[in-house]
Amino acid sequence: MANNGILVVAVSSRGVLPPAAYELVTAGRALADALKQPLSAVVLSEKASALAPELAARGVPTVYAVESPALAGFLADVHAKAAAAAAEKTGAGTILVSGGVAGKELAARLAVGLKAGLATDVSEILPDGKVLRPIFSGNLVAEVEFKTPVRVLALAPMSFARAEKGGTPGKIEALAFAAPASRAKFVSFQPETSNEIDMGSAERIVSGGRGLGGPDGFKPVFELAHALGAAVGASRAAVDAGWIPYKHQVGLTGRSVRPKLYLAVGISGQIQHLAGMSSSGTIVAINTDKDCPMMQMANVSVQGDYAELVPAITAEIKTRRGASAAA
Protein backbone atom coordinates (compact mmCIF):
# COMPACT_ATOMS: atom_id res chain seq x y z
CA MET A 1 0.00 0.00 0.00
CA ALA A 2 1.28 3.40 -0.86
CA ASN A 3 2.03 5.91 1.89
CA ASN A 4 1.81 3.31 4.59
CA GLY A 5 4.44 3.03 7.27
CA ILE A 6 6.71 5.04 9.47
CA LEU A 7 10.31 5.62 8.43
CA VAL A 8 12.95 6.83 10.86
CA VAL A 9 15.88 8.57 9.16
CA ALA A 10 19.10 8.49 11.19
CA VAL A 11 22.09 10.48 9.98
CA SER A 12 25.59 9.88 11.30
CA SER A 13 28.55 11.94 10.18
CA ARG A 14 30.71 11.23 13.23
CA GLY A 15 31.01 7.45 13.28
CA VAL A 16 28.32 7.01 15.98
CA LEU A 17 24.57 7.48 15.98
CA PRO A 18 23.49 10.69 17.71
CA PRO A 19 21.26 10.15 20.79
CA ALA A 20 18.46 11.90 18.88
CA ALA A 21 18.25 8.84 16.61
CA TYR A 22 16.96 6.84 19.58
CA GLU A 23 14.35 9.53 20.28
CA LEU A 24 13.09 9.02 16.71
CA VAL A 25 12.76 5.29 17.39
CA THR A 26 10.54 5.97 20.42
CA ALA A 27 8.32 8.37 18.47
CA GLY A 28 8.23 6.02 15.47
CA ARG A 29 7.34 3.00 17.60
CA ALA A 30 4.45 4.85 19.29
CA LEU A 31 3.12 6.07 15.95
CA ALA A 32 3.48 2.66 14.30
CA ASP A 33 1.52 1.06 17.15
CA ALA A 34 -1.18 3.76 17.12
CA LEU A 35 -1.67 3.67 13.34
CA LYS A 36 -1.03 -0.09 13.04
CA GLN A 37 1.57 0.62 10.37
CA PRO A 38 4.98 -0.96 9.87
CA LEU A 39 8.05 0.74 11.33
CA SER A 40 11.35 0.88 9.53
CA ALA A 41 14.51 2.95 9.74
CA VAL A 42 17.32 3.97 7.49
CA VAL A 43 20.85 4.85 8.54
CA LEU A 44 22.66 7.29 6.25
CA SER A 45 26.36 7.15 6.91
CA GLU A 46 29.77 6.27 5.62
CA LYS A 47 29.62 3.55 8.29
CA ALA A 48 25.93 2.68 7.99
CA SER A 49 26.30 -1.11 8.10
CA ALA A 50 28.20 -0.90 11.39
CA LEU A 51 25.59 1.46 12.92
CA ALA A 52 22.37 -0.15 11.69
CA PRO A 53 22.51 -2.92 14.36
CA GLU A 54 22.05 -0.20 17.04
CA LEU A 55 18.56 0.47 15.69
CA ALA A 56 17.76 -3.18 14.97
CA ALA A 57 18.66 -3.94 18.60
CA ARG A 58 16.05 -1.42 19.69
CA GLY A 59 13.29 -3.40 18.04
CA VAL A 60 13.01 -1.60 14.71
CA PRO A 61 11.81 -4.48 12.49
CA THR A 62 13.59 -3.40 9.30
CA VAL A 63 16.68 -1.22 9.21
CA TYR A 64 18.11 -0.14 5.88
CA ALA A 65 21.75 0.80 5.66
CA VAL A 66 22.76 3.32 3.03
CA GLU A 67 26.54 3.26 3.12
CA SER A 68 28.55 5.52 0.88
CA PRO A 69 31.70 7.64 1.09
CA ALA A 70 29.49 10.45 -0.27
CA LEU A 71 27.73 10.46 3.13
CA ALA A 72 30.91 11.12 5.13
CA GLY A 73 30.11 14.80 5.72
CA PHE A 74 26.59 16.16 5.82
CA LEU A 75 25.34 17.65 2.55
CA ALA A 76 21.59 18.28 2.40
CA ASP A 77 21.12 17.44 -1.27
CA VAL A 78 23.10 14.20 -1.15
CA HIS A 79 21.57 12.99 2.12
CA ALA A 80 18.06 13.92 0.98
CA LYS A 81 18.54 11.79 -2.14
CA ALA A 82 19.60 8.86 0.02
CA ALA A 83 16.64 9.35 2.37
CA ALA A 84 14.31 9.59 -0.63
CA ALA A 85 15.57 6.21 -1.83
CA ALA A 86 14.53 4.67 1.50
CA ALA A 87 11.21 6.53 1.42
CA GLU A 88 10.53 5.08 -2.00
CA LYS A 89 11.59 1.59 -0.95
CA THR A 90 9.29 1.58 2.11
CA GLY A 91 6.44 3.70 0.70
CA ALA A 92 6.26 5.34 4.13
CA GLY A 93 3.62 8.00 4.81
CA THR A 94 5.40 9.47 7.82
CA ILE A 95 9.10 10.21 7.83
CA LEU A 96 10.79 11.14 11.10
CA VAL A 97 14.01 13.14 11.16
CA SER A 98 15.86 14.66 14.10
CA GLY A 99 15.53 18.42 14.45
CA GLY A 100 19.16 19.52 14.63
CA VAL A 101 20.97 21.60 12.01
CA ALA A 102 21.55 18.64 9.66
CA GLY A 103 18.15 17.08 10.36
CA LYS A 104 16.24 20.23 9.47
CA GLU A 105 18.22 20.70 6.25
CA LEU A 106 17.57 17.08 5.31
CA ALA A 107 13.87 17.32 6.19
CA ALA A 108 13.39 20.52 4.16
CA ARG A 109 15.09 19.17 1.08
CA LEU A 110 13.35 15.79 1.35
CA ALA A 111 9.89 17.36 1.78
CA VAL A 112 10.16 19.28 -1.48
CA GLY A 113 11.47 16.19 -3.28
CA LEU A 114 8.58 14.05 -2.01
CA LYS A 115 5.98 16.84 -2.37
CA ALA A 116 5.35 16.30 1.32
CA GLY A 117 4.11 18.55 4.10
CA LEU A 118 6.80 19.41 6.63
CA ALA A 119 6.72 20.35 10.29
CA THR A 120 9.84 21.12 12.33
CA ASP A 121 10.40 21.43 16.09
CA VAL A 122 7.65 18.87 16.61
CA SER A 123 7.16 18.21 20.33
CA GLU A 124 4.17 15.89 20.13
CA ILE A 125 2.36 13.76 17.53
CA LEU A 126 -1.39 13.62 18.17
CA PRO A 127 -3.49 10.50 17.54
CA ASP A 128 -5.46 12.29 14.80
CA GLY A 129 -2.31 12.88 12.79
CA LYS A 130 -1.81 16.52 13.69
CA VAL A 131 1.40 17.58 15.37
CA LEU A 132 2.29 20.23 17.93
CA ARG A 133 5.03 22.77 17.32
CA PRO A 134 5.86 26.20 18.78
CA ILE A 135 5.08 29.41 16.92
CA PHE A 136 5.77 33.03 17.85
CA SER A 137 8.87 31.94 19.74
CA GLY A 138 6.96 29.50 21.88
CA ASN A 139 4.31 31.98 22.99
CA LEU A 140 1.78 29.81 21.17
CA VAL A 141 1.68 26.11 20.40
CA ALA A 142 0.21 25.35 16.98
CA GLU A 143 -1.66 22.23 15.94
CA VAL A 144 -0.43 21.60 12.41
CA GLU A 145 -2.44 19.51 9.95
CA PHE A 146 -1.20 17.97 6.72
CA LYS A 147 -2.80 18.13 3.30
CA THR A 148 -0.38 15.77 1.60
CA PRO A 149 -0.26 11.94 1.55
CA VAL A 150 3.31 12.02 2.87
CA ARG A 151 4.49 14.08 5.83
CA VAL A 152 8.00 14.79 7.05
CA LEU A 153 8.42 15.55 10.75
CA ALA A 154 11.59 17.00 12.25
CA LEU A 155 11.29 16.27 15.96
CA ALA A 156 12.41 18.76 18.59
CA PRO A 157 15.42 17.25 20.38
CA MET A 158 14.70 15.90 23.88
CA SER A 159 10.94 15.72 23.29
CA PHE A 160 10.80 11.93 23.21
CA ALA A 161 12.55 9.40 25.44
CA ARG A 162 15.56 7.59 23.99
CA ALA A 163 14.73 4.01 23.06
CA GLU A 164 16.67 1.42 25.04
CA LYS A 165 17.87 -1.86 23.61
CA GLY A 166 15.19 -4.54 23.66
CA GLY A 167 12.28 -6.03 21.77
CA THR A 168 12.52 -8.43 18.87
CA PRO A 169 15.72 -7.60 16.99
CA GLY A 170 15.09 -6.34 13.48
CA LYS A 171 16.67 -7.35 10.22
CA ILE A 172 19.22 -5.22 8.40
CA GLU A 173 19.24 -4.68 4.67
CA ALA A 174 21.75 -2.76 2.59
CA LEU A 175 20.18 -0.26 0.25
CA ALA A 176 22.09 0.61 -2.93
CA PHE A 177 22.65 4.30 -3.48
CA ALA A 178 24.25 6.14 -6.36
CA ALA A 179 25.36 9.50 -4.97
CA PRO A 180 24.09 12.37 -7.11
CA ALA A 181 26.43 14.98 -8.50
CA SER A 182 26.37 17.91 -6.07
CA ARG A 183 27.69 21.43 -6.39
CA ALA A 184 28.28 21.33 -2.63
CA LYS A 185 31.54 19.85 -1.40
CA PHE A 186 32.28 18.84 2.15
CA VAL A 187 35.67 20.28 3.10
CA SER A 188 36.20 19.57 6.79
CA PHE A 189 34.74 19.28 10.25
CA GLN A 190 36.33 21.05 13.18
CA PRO A 191 35.05 19.52 16.41
CA GLU A 192 34.61 21.60 19.53
CA THR A 193 37.95 21.20 21.23
CA SER A 194 36.60 21.49 24.75
CA ASN A 195 35.03 18.57 26.57
CA GLU A 196 31.84 20.53 27.07
CA ILE A 197 28.52 18.77 26.75
CA ASP A 198 26.28 19.93 23.90
CA MET A 199 23.23 21.83 25.10
CA GLY A 200 20.94 20.36 22.44
CA SER A 201 21.10 16.83 23.78
CA ALA A 202 21.93 17.59 27.43
CA GLU A 203 19.60 16.34 30.15
CA ARG A 204 20.82 19.09 32.48
CA ILE A 205 21.90 22.65 31.72
CA VAL A 206 23.34 25.24 34.08
CA SER A 207 23.00 28.68 32.55
CA GLY A 208 24.40 32.05 33.56
CA GLY A 209 23.35 35.62 32.84
CA ARG A 210 24.01 39.25 33.52
CA GLY A 211 23.76 38.66 37.27
CA LEU A 212 27.14 36.89 37.20
CA GLY A 213 28.70 40.32 36.82
CA GLY A 214 31.58 39.32 34.54
CA PRO A 215 33.44 36.45 32.88
CA ASP A 216 34.78 35.21 36.22
CA GLY A 217 31.21 34.60 37.34
CA PHE A 218 31.04 31.68 34.94
CA LYS A 219 33.77 29.84 36.87
CA PRO A 220 31.44 28.54 39.62
CA VAL A 221 28.78 27.93 36.97
CA PHE A 222 31.14 25.64 35.04
CA GLU A 223 32.12 23.91 38.30
CA LEU A 224 28.47 23.23 39.15
CA ALA A 225 27.82 22.04 35.60
CA HIS A 226 30.79 19.70 35.87
CA ALA A 227 29.51 18.29 39.17
CA LEU A 228 26.08 17.71 37.63
CA GLY A 229 27.31 16.40 34.27
CA ALA A 230 25.49 19.35 32.77
CA ALA A 231 26.02 21.56 29.73
CA VAL A 232 26.63 25.29 30.21
CA GLY A 233 24.24 27.85 28.76
CA ALA A 234 24.07 31.62 28.85
CA SER A 235 21.74 34.52 28.27
CA ARG A 236 22.22 36.93 25.41
CA ALA A 237 23.35 39.63 27.83
CA ALA A 238 26.28 37.48 28.99
CA VAL A 239 27.21 36.55 25.41
CA ASP A 240 26.95 40.11 24.10
CA ALA A 241 29.15 41.28 26.97
CA GLY A 242 31.80 38.83 25.76
CA TRP A 243 31.81 36.77 28.98
CA ILE A 244 31.19 33.48 27.16
CA PRO A 245 31.13 32.40 23.47
CA TYR A 246 27.97 32.59 21.35
CA LYS A 247 27.62 28.81 21.10
CA HIS A 248 26.39 28.83 24.70
CA GLN A 249 23.55 31.26 24.03
CA VAL A 250 20.06 30.06 24.83
CA GLY A 251 17.07 31.94 23.47
CA LEU A 252 15.68 33.54 20.37
CA THR A 253 18.95 34.33 18.61
CA GLY A 254 20.68 31.34 20.20
CA ARG A 255 19.64 27.75 20.76
CA SER A 256 16.34 26.29 21.87
CA VAL A 257 16.85 23.70 24.58
CA ARG A 258 14.63 21.27 26.41
CA PRO A 259 16.63 19.60 29.19
CA LYS A 260 15.07 17.75 32.12
CA LEU A 261 16.71 20.29 34.44
CA TYR A 262 17.46 23.92 33.58
CA LEU A 263 19.26 25.81 36.31
CA ALA A 264 19.26 29.56 35.62
CA VAL A 265 21.83 31.54 37.58
CA GLY A 266 21.57 35.32 37.56
CA ILE A 267 19.21 35.33 34.57
CA SER A 268 16.27 37.68 34.98
CA GLY A 269 14.30 35.93 32.26
CA GLN A 270 13.68 38.29 29.39
CA ILE A 271 11.10 36.93 26.97
CA GLN A 272 13.82 36.27 24.36
CA HIS A 273 15.60 33.96 26.78
CA LEU A 274 12.45 32.26 28.04
CA ALA A 275 11.52 31.43 24.44
CA GLY A 276 14.58 29.19 24.22
CA MET A 277 14.13 27.24 27.45
CA SER A 278 10.57 27.49 28.78
CA SER A 279 9.73 23.94 27.69
CA SER A 280 12.46 22.52 29.95
CA GLY A 281 11.25 19.85 32.38
CA THR A 282 12.13 21.51 35.68
CA ILE A 283 13.39 25.06 35.93
CA VAL A 284 15.45 26.14 38.93
CA ALA A 285 16.21 29.84 39.31
CA ILE A 286 18.89 31.43 41.43
CA ASN A 287 18.64 35.20 41.64
CA THR A 288 18.85 38.11 44.04
CA ASP A 289 15.57 39.51 42.69
CA LYS A 290 12.69 37.28 43.74
CA ASP A 291 10.27 39.19 41.50
CA CYS A 292 12.11 38.78 38.19
CA PRO A 293 10.33 36.73 35.49
CA MET A 294 12.70 33.76 35.79
CA MET A 295 12.10 33.43 39.55
CA GLN A 296 8.36 33.78 38.93
CA MET A 297 8.20 31.04 36.31
CA ALA A 298 10.66 28.64 37.97
CA ASN A 299 9.53 25.35 39.50
CA VAL A 300 12.08 25.92 42.24
CA SER A 301 13.45 29.34 43.15
CA VAL A 302 16.31 30.19 45.44
CA GLN A 303 16.84 33.82 46.35
CA GLY A 304 20.36 34.90 47.14
CA ASP A 305 23.84 35.74 45.93
CA TYR A 306 25.03 33.29 43.30
CA ALA A 307 28.63 33.71 44.43
CA GLU A 308 27.68 32.03 47.73
CA LEU A 309 24.89 29.74 46.56
CA VAL A 310 26.46 28.14 43.50
CA PRO A 311 29.66 26.93 45.23
CA ALA A 312 27.51 25.76 48.17
CA ILE A 313 25.33 23.69 45.82
CA THR A 314 28.40 22.23 44.10
CA ALA A 315 29.88 21.31 47.48
CA GLU A 316 26.59 19.78 48.64
CA ILE A 317 26.34 17.62 45.51
CA LYS A 318 29.90 16.43 45.93
CA THR A 319 29.23 15.59 49.59
CA ARG A 320 26.15 13.53 48.70
CA ARG A 321 28.00 11.77 45.88
CA GLY A 322 30.81 10.98 48.28
CA ALA A 323 28.28 9.68 50.84
CA SER A 324 26.54 7.44 48.33
CA ALA A 325 29.87 6.18 46.98
CA ALA A 326 30.90 5.29 50.53
CA ALA A 327 27.57 3.57 51.19
Partner 1 sequence: MGLHIVVCVKSTPSGVNVPVDPATGRPKTAGVPTGVNPYDEYAIEEAVRLKERVAGSTATALTVGAESAADVLREAVARGCDAGVLVAGPEFDGGDSYATSLALSAAIKKLHAEKPVSLVLFGKNTSDVGAGVVGVQTAAWLDWPCATGVKKIDPEGESAATVARGMEDGTDVLSLGLPACIATVKEINEPRLPSLKGKMAAKKATFAKWGAAELGLQPGQVGAAGAATAVAKAAPPPARPAGVVVDGASAAEKAKKLVDILLERKLI
Choice between 63 and 225, CB closer to partner 1: 225
Cβ atoms of residues 41 and 10 within 8 Å: yes
Q: Of residues 275, 276, 277, 292, which one binds partner 1 by CB under 8 A?
A: 275
Least Å distance between CB 283 and partner 1? 8
What lies within 8 Å, CB to CB, of 8 at 6+ separation is 21, 24, 25, 28, 39, 40, 41, 42, 55, 60, 96
Could you say which residues in the range 145-164 bind partner 1, by CB under 8 A? 145-148, 151
Q: Of residues 119, 175, 232, 237, which one binds partner 1 by CB under 8 A?
A: 119
Q: Which stretch binds partner 1 (CB under 8 A): 49-57, 88-96, 114-122, 210-218?
A: 114-122
Does residue 288 touch partner 1 according to CB under 8 A?
no
Choice between 62 and 280, CB closer to partner 1: 280
Q: Rounded to the nearest 5°, which phi and psi values hold at 231?
A: -85, 160
Buried b (16+ CB within 10 A) or exposed e, 62-96: bbbbbbbebbebbbbbbbbbbbbbbbebbebbbbb
Least Å distance between CB 237 and partner 1? 14
Does residue 195 touch partner 1 according to CB under 8 A?
no
Could you say which residues in the range 231-250 bind partner 1, by CB under 8 A? 246-247
Q: Of residues 198, 226, 241, 289, which one binds partner 1 by CB under 8 A?
A: 198
Cβ atoms of residues 212 and 218 within 8 Å: yes
Could you say which residues in the range 12-41 bind partner 1, by CB under 8 A? 14
Rounded to 10°, the helix 218-228/306-326 angle is 20
Least Å distance between CB 61 and partner 1? 28
Query: What's the CA dihedral at 172, 176, 177, 178 to 10 degrees?
Result: 160
Does residue 80 touch partner 1 according to CB under 8 A?
yes
Least Å distance between CB 84 and partner 1? 11
Could you say which residues in the range 50-79 bind partner 1, by CB under 8 A? 73-77
Q: Of residues 143, 164, 173, 216, which one binds partner 1 by CB under 8 A?
A: 143
Least Å distance between CB 142 and partner 1? 5
Query: What's the CA dihedral at 49, 51, 52, 54 to 10 degrees?
Result: 150
**How many Cα atoms are found within 13 Å in the side-chain-facing hemisphere of 157?**
23
Decide: helix, strand or coil at residue 224.
Answer: helix
Does residue 303 touch partner 1 according to CB under 8 A?
yes
Q: Which stretch binds partner 1 (CB under 8 A): 31-39, 42-50, 55-63, 180-188?
A: 180-188
Does residue 138 touch partner 1 according to CB under 8 A?
yes
Q: Which stretch binds partner 1 (CB under 8 A): 3-11, 158-166, 181-189, 212-220?
A: 181-189
Residue of 92, 34, 25 lying closest to 52 (CA atoms): 25
Q: Which stretch binds partner 1 (CB under 8 A): 46-54, 55-63, 199-207, 211-219?
A: 199-207
**How many Cα atoms are found within 13 Å in the side-chain-facing hemisphere of 252?**
12
**251 dihedral zone (left: phi>0; alpha: psi -120 to 50; beta):** left
